Each structure stands twice: as structure tokens, then as C-alpha cells.
């Protein structure tokens, strides 16, 4: 028995929200894995992929030239090329460090605020590791 991909409306289905581009690579990885396990035909993969994206992303992705005339791999590369901030996430940047700090404007974190402190430290460590 082959694995079934959840329908887009099911609660356990993968979903891409265009307001959270930092989650795009994870979404694409999950969808590729699910489609491979389920044995999705190559000519159905693009249509399947866009059906799990929100309306904005679906409309944008369907307008890419590779959606109608390109391989699935070309389509994935085309999608990723339209989200330059993802490259920054993978390579790290001072800009990303500043964005993280912007989450805490004029806020003093005390020693007792461990949750707040750690919510700043975790992403900062990840960015610093990418930069060094």
C-alpha cells in the first residue's frame, strides 16, 4: 500500500504561507518527500505542489514560466529564486542579526525572563554560526 498525501484541506497537510517565506525550504522539502513516497507522477508534481500553497503564492508560482514549460526541478529553482531572503537565512547576515534584535525594541530583559532571553539567544546563535 502506498502512502497517501493528505488533501490540502486536511489538518495534517503541509501548507505554505507566503507571509512566512523563511519556511519555504522546509515546505518544499516536505512536499518533495511526500510526493516521492506517494509515487506522485512527475507531470502532476507542480500542480500538486501549488495546491498546498496559500492563494497568493499559488497565483505567483503558477505565473512562473517554468510552471508551464519546465521540469519540476526548474520550477523549484524558479520558486526559490523569487525569495532572496532565503539565501540570507542559509548563509547568515548582519541584516538578519539586526532583524532579530528588532524583535526586542526598547525592551530590557531581566535574568528572571529566561523565556524571553532564550527566544533571543537561540536564533542569534544560529545566525552567528552561519556567519563565522
Q: What is the pLDDT of residues 81-112, one digit of tens each?
A: 998 877 666 666 667 667 777 777 666 666 67
Q: Is residue 121 included in any domain, yes or no?
A: yes
Distance CA 64, CA 62 (A): 6
Domain match, 51 and 27 both: yes
The residue range of the domain holding 105 is 92-131
Domain match, 79 and 111 both: no
Q: What total number of domains does the chain contain? A: 2
User: How much is the pLDDT for 54?
Assistant: 97
Q: Is residue 13 included in any domain, yes or no?
A: no
Instruction: Name residue 16's beta-bridge partners.
Output: 53
Mean of pLDDT over the chain: 85
Query: For the chain, how are helix, strand and coil distributed in percent, rounded to 5?
Result: 65, 0, 35
Domain match, 71 and 106 both: no
Residue scoring higher pLDDT (16 or 132): 16
Domain match, 31 and 78 both: yes
Task: Look up residue 92 and give its DSSP letter.
Answer: -
Domain match, 76 and 119 both: no
**How far are the Cα atoms of 68, 69, 112 from residue 39, in angstroms, in the given order?**
21, 22, 51
Amino acid at each position: 500500500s502506498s502512502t497517501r498525501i493528505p488533501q490540502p484541506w486536511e489538518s495534517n497537510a503541509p501548507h505554505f504561507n507566503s507571509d512566512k517565506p523563511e519556511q519555504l525550504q522546509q515546505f518544499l522539502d516536505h512536499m518533495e518527500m511526500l510526493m516521492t513516497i506517494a509515487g506522485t507522477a512527475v507531470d502532476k508534481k507542480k500542480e500538486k505542489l501549488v495546491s498546498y500553497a496559500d492563494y497568493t503564492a499559488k497565483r505567483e508560482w503558477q505565473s512562473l514560466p517554468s510552471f508551464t514549460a519546465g521540469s519540476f526541478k526548474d520550477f523549484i529553482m524558479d520558486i526559490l529564486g523569487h525569495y532572496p531572503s532565503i539565501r540570507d537565512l542559509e548563509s547568515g547576515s548582519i541584516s538578519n542579526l539586526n532583524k532579530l534584535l528588532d524583535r526586542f525594541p526598547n525592551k530590557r530583559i531581566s535574568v528572571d525572563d529566561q523565556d524571553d532571553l532564550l527566544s533571543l539567544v537561540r536564533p542569534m546563535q544560529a545566525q552567528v554560526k552561519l556567519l563565522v
